Amino acid sequence: MTGRRWLVTGGVGFIGHHLCRALLARGDAVHVVDDFSDAPYPAALKRKNEEELRRDFDAFELDRGCITDRDLVERLAGGADGVLHLAGLAGVRPSFLDPARYARVNVEGTANLLDAAQRASHDLFVFASSSSVYGNATPLPAREDAEAIVPESPYAASKRGAELVCSAMLRKTPSLRCPALRFFTVYGRRQRPEMAITTFLRAILAGEPITVFGDGSMRRDFTHVDDIVRGVLAAIDRAPPGFRPYNLGSGAPITLRDLVDAMGKAAGRSADVRHAPVPLGDVDATFADVSRARDELGWSPQITLEEGLRTVVAWLREA
């Protein structure tokens, strides 16, 4: 399914840039909408991503604007074959500071986009959700059919709320394919600067201390961005009609303590670790059951944590 024209929201952010590059490389056209907000992904990095995509590909276009602008998204959706919705406010801790904005952008913005896609008679609407929807109450490894009804943060609630809105809206257009991709702690080149792997590795390479929350026993399912992009492409090509959530994770969680050791090996030097209390909203563990994505999309993670950490180290040394 190449040669199609996609509206990609948030297309000059971390995951969005990698996805746009993959789509353009396979012969698709991409029209990005991004509001260039400065947090949590810096606007300067978005501008750099935009410049590189414009330089490397002729079939790249971009409009600056917010997905809460109904007229804008309806106009842009009308010129596309489908929507790949990655835009939104990210971050567990910041969501406690402005929960209403998270609800407005992540829930209302998603409803605007899906409504526009339905009006344009699209056959595909991909929604980038989050492993945060599972909270602490879901048995691990988390399966997509778990109830996911006890979010630990306004961010998690907004992502779950957006999923429920999508599911309800699909009653009007049941033939529309709407995979909700639950990303598990994505890392890699161009990652958001405040995320743990980038922050820790930058500090380790500089010989500075790092701060680990809690005693290091929290577990996270880290997923390399290249695996995430392959998962999105698989959903584009193979997702069935209707609303359907899929976990995209490594399926191999690691404790923060062991993560620090692995980062030290990748960087070639040991870390100076300090400890701090666990912040509000952080979950005890994330662990993806990826069998649905494997069975229905033909996707499975390919990049080990050791390989992935080396790509981040190489990127930081180039910067």
Residue 223's H or E segment, with its range, is strand 223-224
Tally of CB atoms within 10 A around 152: 19
Pairing of strands 186-187, 82-85: unpaired
Q: What is the end-to-end Cα distance of the chain in Å, rounded?
A: 35
Residue 128's H or E segment, with its range, is strand 125-130
What CA–CA distances, in Å, run from 141 to 149, 174, 220, 244, 293?
Answer: 16, 29, 11, 18, 14
Residues sharing a CB contact under 8 Å with residue 291, sequence separation 6 or more, in sequence order: none
- CA 254 to CA 221: how far, in whole Å? 7
Tally of CB atoms within 10 A around 275: 11
> What does 63-112 look like in DSSP terms, one character per residue?
EE--TT-HHHHHHHHHT-SEEEE--S---HHHHTT-HHHHHIIIIIHHHH
Residue 155 is among the residues annotated as catalytic for this protein: yes
Residue type, 183: F
Q: What is the DSSP letter of 41?
A: S
**Beta-ladder partners of 125:** 83
- Which SS3 state, helix, strand or coil, does residue 130 take? strand
247 contacts 184 by C-beta, under 8 angstroms:
yes
Catalytic residue among 41, 102, 134, 155: 155
Pairing of strands 219-220, 254-255: antiparallel
Task: Give the residue carrying structure tokens 């602008």.
Answer: 69
Residues serving a catalytic function are 155
